Structure 1
Amino acid sequence: MAKKRAYACYRELGAELRKRRIAAQLSMSQLGYSLGWSTTKVSRVESGHIGLPTTEVLHYLGPCEVLLPQALDLLDLCRTAERKLGYWLSPHGEWINNQLHSLIFHESTANESVTYESLLVPGLLQTPEYARVRISREKTLTQATVEQYVQVRLRRQEILHRPKPARFEFYIHEQALRLPVGDATVRHEQALHLALLSTLPHITIRVVPTQAGERSAFGGSFAVYGFDRHTPLVYLDNHITGMFLEKPGLVQPYQTLVPEIADVALDAKDSREFVATLADEYDLGSSQSNDQHVVAEEQL
């Protein structure tokens, strides 16, 4: 008999519930005893194989001593999961300022990831300074908040360096690599960082060249996450929201698009050479800028 499918929202909800149980220093058997549940039921709730209504979520959280104000985000996620629409919004996008880290959870539990970026270097591959310049453009953010978001970005990147990492494939449009984010030094370090990461056996970076013309236009950025025991998930990132797609009919077009992008992109070796050459170009630009600055100071 096939196992019951664990929907992505319920997997995330179960993981968050488990965190609350562990924080309360309760074992599954202890929590199950308090709730009148079997240990198996607790386990299947935390793995996402049993979906709970909001009343049962509150019932679960009671022995964990989680009060209603601290449970509101979990209840919102539960309501989203109950709808089973096959898609849902993550209202904070990548800028995480609450306890639900949807993107990080699904990204870190996938065993393979394919990302296409048309305008910017993917967040998982950004250097701290590139990320800082990118995030600082938000004029409403304080410097402390900017640094907080930079640290979130860097924590996301830890999945690239786990002992048994997933397989990552990145398709980056050339225009994203040439977009003037920061000064030449920032762009040089970013391009060099990409060249170094591309040498890791579980990371493939491929450049989509602008010389391919209209054949290089594939729309907005997206990521496709693959899982050993679950159906694929697509993530679309926007300015203030992120959207997850789980319904097969919504995911399949993006899965079909990946080989089309691969047909146009440079291969891994040529892409590595491309970003290395770009790093040299930016390094030269940085040197010229410094020379001009020195000349200007001497003239003063």
Structure 2
Amino acid sequence: MNQEQKSPNIRRRRLGQVLRGLREESGLTLDAAAKGAGVPRSTLGRMETAEARRLRHTDLNALADFYNVDAETREGMHGLAREAKERGWWSKYKDVFGERALPDWEAEASAIRTFQSQLIPGLFQTPRYAAAIFRGGRATTEENIERLVEARMTRQQILNRIHPPRMTAVIDEAALHRLIGGHEIMREQLEHLGHLAVRHNIDVQVLPYEAGEHLGMEGSFTILEFPEPRDTPIVYVETATRGLFLESTEELDAYNVTFSNVQGVALSTSRSAEFIHHATQALEKQT
């Protein structure tokens, strides 16, 4: 894996797991461990929950001494801390992605499952379709639109890497009919979606109107899975103000059940390809 494909967030989460595991093995509360190691309780708490952005060598050494870890474990802790400070390409777009960037998690994902109720998934969008979405009735400069589109197109490079993630997308029929940017842009987008649907690592399923009610009616979401068993999956839900990352077992279970439901009532990949083709042809007649 090259430098740009490493995820600092995942490294922080692994380090947090190590520290929490050492504390629990010692049978200590957070207060007792922090006091014993001489590390502020709030600092140790943020380290264990992967919220700490600054990981100081002195704190790590103090914890390693307190837990009496071996040299290999100590070096592993420092190695994770060093990698957690590294920056991927998305750091250049902090104004676009925010503090906890979705590409940070996508960088190492081995499988991505997404349900989209209104739009074509961001990883599948064409530049003109994405630009039309970002305009979306808002008064904004073209320069800002270009930057947002550039960031989104760069995200899509994970689908072209040597070992791309397995991508499964269930897309509501509404997303195929919603006329984003006009007939020409929408036709171009559907053609692109049709081409992606036949890639070996991508499955696209259309959820037709006739499927009726389903568990995904509350909104879109994405589940990201990782190759390392210790890196538990994470759910991403985008809101009007920010993206939410959900990690608890209960939340993961709920979204796994929801995705299984929408995938189960969606059309097969072959029938979905035909559906997308017919929708594209319908737009061709209107352009």
> Could you state the TM-score of these two structures normalised by the residue count of structure 2?
0.70
**Alignment match of 1:42 (pick from 63, 71, 78):** 78
Whole-Å Cα distance in 1 between the matches of residues 124 and 225 of structure 2? Answer: 19
Q: Judging changes above 3 Å, is the alpha-carbon distance between structure 1 residues 121 and 96 closer, same or farther for their aligned structure 2 residues?
A: farther
- Hey, what does 1:83 align to over in structure 2? none
Is 1:182 aligned with 2:194? no
Whole-Å Cα distance in 1 between the matches of residues 110 and 194 of structure 2? Answer: 23
Cα shift readout 1:73-112 (whole Å, capped 9, x = no counterpart) = x9xxxxxxxxxxxxxxxxxxx9844774521101222111
Is 1:5 aligned with 2:41? no
Quick one: which amino acid aligns to residue 132 of structure 2?
Answer: V
Q: Once structures 1 and 2 are overlaid, which stretch shifts more, 95-104 or 225-234?
A: 95-104
Whole-Å Cα distance in 2 between the matches of residues 201 and 171 of structure 1? Answer: 16
Quick one: which amino acid aligns to residue 45 of structure 1?
Answer: A
Gaps of 5+ in 2: 1-14, 21-46, 63-73
How far residue 214 of structure 1 moved from its aligned partner, in angstroms, is 2.3
How far residue 222 of structure 1 moved from its aligned partner, in angstroms, is 0.3
Q: Judging changes above 3 Å, is the alpha-carbon distance between structure 1 residues 225 and 237 closer, same or farther for their aligned structure 2 residues?
A: same
How far residue 39 of structure 1 moved from its aligned partner, in angstroms, is 4.5
Quick one: which amino acid aligns to residue 155 of structure 1?
Answer: T
Kept in 1, the 8 Å contact 2:172–2:208? The answer is yes
Kept in 2, the 8 Å contact 1:206–1:265? The answer is yes
Whole-Å Cα distance in 2 between the matches of residues 276 and 214 of structure 1? Answer: 25
Name the SS of the counterpart of 1:109 in structure 2: coil
Cα shift readout 1:8-61 (whole Å, capped 9, x = no counterpart) = x989879x879xxxxxxxxxxxx979x97964432032456xxxxxxxxxxxx8
Is 1:285 aligned with 2:281? no
Let me know the Cα RMSD of the aligned residues: 3.4
- Hey, what does 2:70 align to over in structure 1? none
- Hey, what does 2:6 align to over in structure 1? none
- Hey, what does 2:240 align to over in structure 1? 239
- Summarize the alignment of residues 40-119 of structure 1 with structure 2, pairs less than 5 Å apart: 40-46=76-82, 96-97=95-96, 100=99, 102-119=101-118
Quick one: which amino acid aligns to residue 259 of structure 1?
Answer: S
- Hey, what does 1:163 align to over in structure 2? 162
Whole-Å Cα distance in 2 between the matches of residues 160 and 12 of structure 1? Answer: 27
How far residue 284 of structure 1 moved from its aligned partner, in angstroms, is 1.0
Whole-Å Cα distance in 1 between the matches of residues 181 and 125 of structure 2? Answer: 12
Whole-Å Cα distance in 1 between the matches of residues 177 and 274 of structure 2? Answer: 15
Cα shift readout 1:241-267 (whole Å, capped 9, x = no counterpart) = 110100111111001111111111000
- Hey, what does 2:126 align to over in structure 1? 127
Gaps of 5+ in 1: 19-30, 49-60, 65-73, 75-93, 287-300
- Hey, what does 1:254 align to over in structure 2? 255
Between the aligned residues of both structures, percent identity stands at 27
> Could you state the TM-score of these two structures normalised by the residue count of structure 1?
0.67
- Hey, what does 1:53 align to over in structure 2? none
Whole-Å Cα distance in 1 between the matches of residues 98 and 242 of structure 2? Answer: 16
Kept in 2, the 8 Å contact 1:222–1:237? The answer is yes
Whole-Å Cα distance in 1 between the matches of residues 243 and 16 of structure 2? Answer: 27
Kept in 2, the 8 Å contact 1:218–1:261? The answer is no
- Number of equivalences: 228
Quick one: which amino acid aligns to residue 127 of structure 1?
Answer: T
How far residue 148 of structure 1 moved from its aligned partner, in angstroms, is 0.3
